[in-house]
Chains A and B, each alone.
Chain A
Amino acid sequence: MRGRARRSRALVIARTDLRQLRQARDFWVPLAVIAGLFFVVIPAVLLTIITHVSDVRLVQQLSSVVGSLPKQLRASVKGDAAPAQASYALAVYLFAPLAIIVPLTVSSAVGANTVIGERERGSGEFLAHSPARERDIYLGKLVASLVPGYLTAAVGFGLYSLVVNLTVGPQVGGWFFPTPNWWILVLWVLPPFIALALAVILAISAKVSSAAAAQQASALVTLPLVLIAYTVASGTLFRTELAAFLIGALAWVGAGLALWQGSHAVRRERLLGLGS
């Protein structure tokens, strides 16, 4: 009963934070534009151009894209013509890993404001006097920051799949994306990286004295994580399913430890604006 009440309070906090986020168009519209660029506009434009290249010299240059891939991957590249093969390689091995930056950025932006925002608006006093435990508040804030990131990943990669299958698919014998390793990446490897970044960012957000400081510190902390995530995403795609699974498992362990440690970050005193 007690556990249910705690879960319920965390969910109430998460739901209310998400409701506020939905109302904050000035916050999410720019993020939606960035997501649209990375997931839809840039891949659609570039892949359409590449698949329709007829210039001989450019075709030769595109062939080198496939040639630069590791040997075991070259065999898996689909398509007969060089432009089709290059489009396939770019769709699977270049654009998609780049796009994982977007969900990370979205969750980081939301997370950085979440606790310090309560303090700055003065609403932290309401939470501090509420029956919610500090861990309920942390959990609620975490869920409210994770959901936009995961939602961006789900919707974004859904749209990305549609774009690459429609533009490159006809040239390589049908729909091909997501590949099996991509499923592992999006469902198994990306989520713990978002959680890991948020564990650090929420701890920062609970400790600093202004939203601006939280944003700056979060950017510094998440930059290496974004680079690691990109490397891991590329590595996941370049290796076997088993290797991808193991990388994900390691990331989950790291995220679990970071979240456990971070759960002590939210303190009532800090919600009241004291003890920065």
Chain B
Amino acid sequence: MSVELVGVRRSFGPVVAVDELSLSIPSGSVTVLLGPNGAGKTTAVRLVTGALGADGGTVRVFGLDPGGADGTAVRRRCGVVPARPALYDRLSGYDNLRYGAELFEVEPSLVDDRIHDAATRFGIADVLATRVGGYSTGMRARLALARAVLHEPDLLLLDEPTAGLDPESARIVLHLIDELAERGTAVLMCTHLLLEAEGLADQIVVLDRGRTLVSGSPAQLTRRYWPAARVVLDADDPGVLDRARTLPFVRSYRRNGTATVDLSEPGRIPDLVDALVAAGARLRRVEPQTPSLEQLYFTIREQGS
């Protein structure tokens, strides 16, 4: 396990930023922290690297205590992309990357190659000599990402990595996350943009006011919060579809052009089709639905609150 948080608590004066937070991040997986502003996502990232100490609970990263004497060893294996890129505007892109490489102790003979590779990968090779103060938001974000992966971290922490990015840059970021996780890097990503977490997350943790509202894999959360199997139907004569309303295993039915039917369990879809065909329906579309992360998130938050 790369990261293990158990009952972690951190407050700032009277404000409790993180309360009883428990979290495990295995190597080679992507964990997405979801939650509104002020949910405690950024504080969680800072607790993981030891940039902030916990008031209570246990934080272990690679089996070490990042808030104590092991902090340097832990942080050397972490790459962080903060919500603000945290770059040095007076320096060139190259000098920013070199600073990162040197602080994170990249072998001196490898520094130039690593910088060149990262810059090429993120499409900023041609502006490396330019001062960062003149970079666009997208270029700054790409540079911050390049700096975070220069030393090939075992744990990558991204705080709203695609905020303010154009679609092309956002796609590069999401592709990178996927690629790093495949190579064995543990990834922790904070976001409130649900679309970007869709299809990427191995584990989702929904935070609210510093507390874990719920956590699990997307499949687990779907089973737990979206127990009804939903299917969308269309037919030559849509009126026949209304027959579904009378079937005992149908939980809810609504028709607005196509019909959306919630069943008591997914295994009932063939029974539904049989019943409608027997009623004379010529079905044009039978499409089982899985909830989007956005639908799931709002269901969780509604039920949680």
Contact = CB atoms under 8 A, between A and B. Distances in A.
A272 B156 CA distance: 19
A123 B88 contact: yes
A168 interface: no
Contacts of B76: 131
Q: Give the 10 A-B residue pairs with the shortest CB-CB distance, closest first.
A: A126-B86, A129-B80, A128-B51, A23-B90, A131-B76, A122-B84, A125-B86, A12-B102, A125-B82, A131-B75
Given A5-B105, A23-B91, A121-B89, A131 B99 contact: no
Nearest to B89: A121
A130 interface: yes
A268 B50 CA distance: 9
Contact size range, B:
20 to 34
Nearest to B67: A268
Interface string B101-117: 01111000000000000
Interface string B65-84: 00000011101101010101
B103 A12 contact: yes
Nearest to B100: A126
A19 B91 contact: yes
Contacts of A186: none
B52 interface: yes
B12 interface: yes
B49 interface: yes
Interface of A: 5, 8-9, 12-13, 16, 19-20, 23-24, 121-126, 128-133, 268-269, 271-272, 274
Contacts of A9: 103
Nearest to A273: B84
Contacts of A269: 51-52
Given A131-B103, A268-B52, A272-B51, A16 B95 contact: yes
Contact of A19 (B49, B71, B95, B105): B95
Contacts of A16: 88, 91, 95, 99
B46 interface: yes
B78 A133 contact: no
A123 B87 contact: yes
Nearest to B84: A122
Contacts of B75: 129-131
Contacts of A131: 71-73, 75-76, 103-105
B69 to A, nearest CB: 10
Contacts of B46: 128-129, 272
Given A16-B95, A123-B88, A129-B51, 5 more contacts: A123-B87, A126-B147, A131-B76, A131-B104, A271-B51
Contacts of A5: 105
A20 B103 contact: no
B155 to A, nearest CB: 11
B99 A129 contact: no
Nearest to B103: A130
Contacts of B103: 9, 12-13, 130-132
A20 B82 CA distance: 21
Contacts of A125: 51, 80, 82, 84, 86
A125 B51 CA distance: 8
28 contacts: A5-B105, A9-B103, A12-B102, A12-B103, A16-B88, A19-B95, A20-B90, A20-B91, A23-B91, A24-B90, A122-B82, A123-B86, A123-B88, A125-B80, A125-B84, A125-B86, A126-B100, A126-B147, A129-B46, A129-B80, A130-B103, A131-B73, A131-B75, A131-B104, A131-B105, A132-B72, A132-B103, A268-B51
In the complex, which of the residues B82, B87, B99 has the most CB atoms of chain A within 10 Å of its own CB atom? Answer: B99
A172 to B, nearest CB: 47
A124 B52 CA distance: 13
A4 to B, nearest CB: 11
Nearest to B46: A272
A16 B100 CA distance: 10
A11 to B, nearest CB: 9
A126 B49 CA distance: 11
B82 to A, nearest CB: 4
A227 B73 CA distance: 45
Nearest to B83: A125
A12 B90 contact: no
B52 A129 contact: no
A244 B300 CA distance: 75
